[in-house]
Structure 1
């Protein structure tokens, strides 16, 4: 009887030890509220080369899902393999809390889906659908940290606000070396007969020292060549869902250089950001000369009390001239307030205003007037005019 009890105790101890070395965590964010948009474009005609779409503006009052943070739920797993090595994975689903529909094109785990190995000494190597180093090292200290996606550079054309992910990718992230960390990603296009078509690669790094942080990254995404160009269905999702840059979706490739920095002075955090986004044409493109957008932003956040935080920001974006027409320009101002009811639950109010000028391209390659599109595409639809105002109030809870 004693031997049986001892055996049971030993086996139970081993089971508990094994369980302690492995873990799976369920987590998520639910975010819902109400919103107003001064003008969302509604198409009255179909477009074609030489015949731009005729849009009209319509104001919108209604339910708003995932304004501060995209609604999501996910699973994180880790298994200790010994010697500082662990097997890791993350599966993350995005959804609309207002309708229950899945996001990211209806993917079950469209936000993230990856697995790999993590070493305390050598870093982490992962494979799957992942964020690129722009998101990892620039996005984590950009305006979106203080102003949500509404404060992103217009249309999130530089992906700092993680509009796009890289599928079929392999990524390396280093350990931290006295505050410095770097990483690299390669997304396979999976195109028969070509290694380059629809592939993506990116590198970046971040340095943090007390109240100071700075990050920079580079990304290049290659479109397919030939008649099927413009699909962006390989490794890279693309960032062409707004009037800011939809006319350049037929680009042969997209290149982004992005950087951001923050400095905290007591309850005040100051931030700056910059990006250079280039679209290079190919034989199938609807434009013939390289188009470049430069974006710069300033942010300030003030922690008034432990529960109340206020923030403001200004962004300026300018593209290069198209066919000799006035260059497109975008001025954007954002205000934000957050009140934390607890560590997990907070109320928020957001305002964004943008004014556009100059000329750009539409989806059919026609030269048209530039129109406003506040923040990232997750928060609204482009305007039919050169001005747009967004207002959002809501509640967010994490778990």
Structure 2
């Protein structure tokens, strides 16, 4: 077991109609003007934005709006948001949406609170000294950004997708109403479930000795998501299933499932980030497309963890030897992905990736040779290329 720090300062308000608490929660932050940041038209069509604005009006809180966040949120909109906040004297950001909106809000918060180019933080050139306070109203259960210290931004110059983690950006509060996810397309719902699973699997499938309690929490979380993802495929307005998945999303990425571990592997995420940057694929779908190839490439280097994953999460019966059990677990995970219409190869994303593109993806993933990824098996550029080729 490793030493660890666990820090979760975000207040969670969970349940039906909880978005009506927005004004009260923001008023308690003693702010004067709010940026309401959101994506496209769904928040308007559903009436959610109207309810949020009404709640702010009741508390006498001023606000301005900025829409346009896309999946794999763009640096250009972040920069637009920074300028808008400075011009309007914004001192609080309210993210209304999923992980992309929250990530964009965090980046804007960094840019307003610090001088210089906000991309420096994602390029790991320097560290921020602060961030505007942020609150979130979650409409997609997936990224866990509402309780995490992380955000991911795509720079259109070179289509570089980079993540950055820092406690300054943690949300002051997160409003979680499972009903707000009823209208999600089935594909987005299942992409979210994959993302939640992967946030837990990245920490669980590692190279060290874990705490038994942390393992048990992780295993229960993964089994719960798998069970309820199947329910939601046939019954998308099942409140209990939506609630289980939404709470799992927050717990999967707030640090809980990493307590006492070596921090996790995260190679699958880094490999997918470059697919998202180059081809603008949905993050969860990209993860399911590459995970099986990564797992087959590395499992022998941490075979006991893969066996435990197979037996305790996927209920695979022990085979004649550890290798057969581990492989059966990988196959069972891919079978689950297919059962909820998620891809298990890059071609199933509708992408025919070329050798030249694979080399470019691996170059970017290795930060042009400046880093390796993963801990189960440390991966350099050639390893990453091999995984992309296996995933084709």
Smaller-chain TM-score bracket: under 0.3
The structure with the largest helix share of the pair is 2
Q: Return the TM-score normalized by structure 2.
A: 0.26
Greater C-alpha Rg: 1
